[in-house]
């Protein structure tokens, strides 16, 4: 090595803007998925997942502008955020359907003269009639 030849190190990274937006979308989507499975409460995660989906879209378009470099993370973030939007809707819909189906059965059980949990047995009226 001589003094006339200094060594230079070039560090090239992928498109850091799209990676950053994609990573933020992945984090927001993961949090939305964790909250989204809880019926009714999970509906509060939908706006946050929507913001994450928007950020993933911006990151993807930025990656397209740079020749598709660094586009995997925004795609992953967008998919996770889309699941974070879908999951609360499905869990709340299924819970509402179950409650709607169970309500008439509960009302019928409550109006019945027997207390809930009572076991009744029916016996034939002529048990000893043949003797």
Whole-Å CA distances, 36 to 20, 42, 55, 56, 118:
24, 4, 19, 19, 38
131 has pLDDT over 60: no
Q: Which residue has the higher pLDDT, 42 or 8?
A: 42
- Stretch 76-88: mean pLDDT, rounded? 97
The pLDDT of residue 81 is: 97
The pLDDT of residue 109 is: 79
Domain assignments of the chain as residue spans, ordered by start? 16-110
Q: C-alpha angle with apex 49: 45 to 53, nearest 5 degrees?
A: 170
- Stretch 71-83: mean pLDDT, rounded? 96
21-72 per-position pLDDT tens digit: 999 999 999 999 999 999 999 999 999 999 999 999 999 999 999 888 889 9
Nearest to 17 by CA among 66, 79, 51, 50: 66
Q: Give just the sign of the alpha carbon dihedral 39, 44, 47, 49.
A: negative
Residue pair 77/29 in contact by the 8 Å Cβ criterion: yes
Whether the model clears a pTM of 0.75, i.e. scores above it, the answer is no
């Amino acid at each position: 090595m001589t003094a006339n030849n200094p060594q230079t190190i070039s560090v090239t990274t992928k498109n850091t803007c799209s990676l950053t937006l994609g990573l933020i979308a992945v984090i927001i989507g993961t949090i939305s998925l964790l909250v989204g499975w809880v019926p009714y409460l999970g509906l509060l995660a939908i706006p946050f997942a929507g913001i994450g989906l928007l950020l993933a879209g911006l990151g993807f378009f930025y990656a397209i502008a740079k020749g598709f470099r660094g586009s995997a993370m925004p795609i992953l973030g967008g998919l996770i955020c889309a699941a974070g939007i879908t999951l609360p809707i499905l869990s709340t819909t299924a819970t509402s359907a179950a409650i709607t189906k169970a309500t008439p059965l509960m009302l019928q059980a409550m109006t019945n003269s027997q207390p809930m949990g009572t076991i009744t047995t029916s016996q034939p009226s002529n048990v000893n009639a043949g003797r």
